[in-house]
A = this chain, B = another copy of it.
């Protein structure tokens, strides 16, 4: 009951969670409270700073809507989303990365090698191809690659009413050998939405809002754990300072021109064969 001693105050806070019926929830809230208190003590947080933090987080919540998830963005720019995906990537499987706000279900099925470019803006063509296997190296036939990418105007189709609805979106399927082939354009970098409180935080801390150029993939196959990952263009800017920390060396691909001048990159994908964890 003695609030004069921060450690006793923390003990009192943690004790209140003893009755949580879900042990995992208890573990999470206890660890969160411990770190919150340690943070406040470490920096000697002042009342006005705490209030500014409350105001910031409130603004983040209020900026969020059906089409804008500002808290997800905050999690992304603090590296939390990327950390969680990294931590939960099974050994030997392709690195999981964050999904981000631009995935939308309902993309059209596309044939092997079909282009997902629905409006020709004269952008450099590219092909992304490779094999999907399990961790033992066995081909995964019939896997679905749900792919989304921004256009050269920096925007995804779901952000941009002037693009065809399914531009640079498509669901590809692997063949009997686990192979896939996607025809698209060279990816270009873009800015995350920075007109909200997260953008203000980036500016206040001297950070830029740019993401390295990438193609986003959600790979699913019956009996395998779904995988969200990204492939990055080795020629892109911001590989070392991606605003949401999605870049890892094994996801950076070199696009090499073929005889027709089409840039080709190769990316093999390894799925975890275990059942999808709940």
Judge whether B62 and A13 touch: CB under 8 Å: no
Contact residues in B for A29 (Cβ distance below 8 Å)? 201, 205
Judge whether B84 and A9 touch: CB under 8 Å: no
State whether the Cβ of A143 lies closer than 8 Å to any Cβ in chain B: no
Judge whether A4 and B248 touch: CB under 8 Å: yes
Question: Nearest 4 A-B pairs (CB), nearest first?
Answer: A61-B61, A19-B206, A13-B79, A3-B248
Residues facing B in A197-238 (CB within 8 A) are 201, 204-207
Judge whether B246 and A95 touch: CB under 8 Å: no
Contact residues in B for A19 (Cβ distance below 8 Å)? 205-207
Judge whether A54 and B69 touch: CB under 8 Å: yes
Please give the residue numbers on chain A whose beta carbons come within 8 Å of chain B beta carbons, in ascending order.
1-4, 6, 9-10, 12-13, 16-22, 25-29, 31-33, 35-50, 54, 57-62, 64, 69-72, 75, 78-89, 95-97, 201, 204-207, 239-241, 245-250, 277-278
Contact residues in B for A46 (Cβ distance below 8 Å)? 84, 88, 277
Contact residues in B for A32 (Cβ distance below 8 Å)? 39, 78
The SS class assigned to the A binding surface is: helix
Contact residues in B for A27 (Cβ distance below 8 Å)? 43
CB-defined A-B contacts under 8 Å, sample of 6: A10-B79, A19-B207, A31-B39, A50-B75, A61-B61, A61-B62
Judge whether A22 and B75 touch: CB under 8 Å: no
Minimum C-beta distance from A198 to chain B (A):
12
Judge whether B245 and A9 touch: CB under 8 Å: yes
Judge whether B40 and A1 touch: CB under 8 Å: no
- Kindly state the separation between the CA atoms of A40 and B6 in the bound complex, as whole angstroms: 23
Least CB separation from A212: chain B residue = B1
Judge whether B13 and A78 touch: CB under 8 Å: yes
- Kindly state the separation between the CA atoms of A16 and B78 in the bound complex, as whole angstroms: 10
- Kindly state the separation between the CA atoms of A29 and B79 in the bound complex, as whole angstroms: 12
Contact residues in B for A13 (Cβ distance below 8 Å)? 78-79, 245
Minimum C-beta distance from A214 to chain B (A):
13
Judge whether A16 and B241 touch: CB under 8 Å: yes
Judge whether A35 and B38 touch: CB under 8 Å: yes
Judge whether A79 and B249 touch: CB under 8 Å: no
8 further A-B pairs in the complex, CB-CB below 8 A; given A3-B82, A33-B78: A4-B248, A4-B250, A10-B79, A20-B204, A22-B204, A35-B39, A40-B84, A47-B96
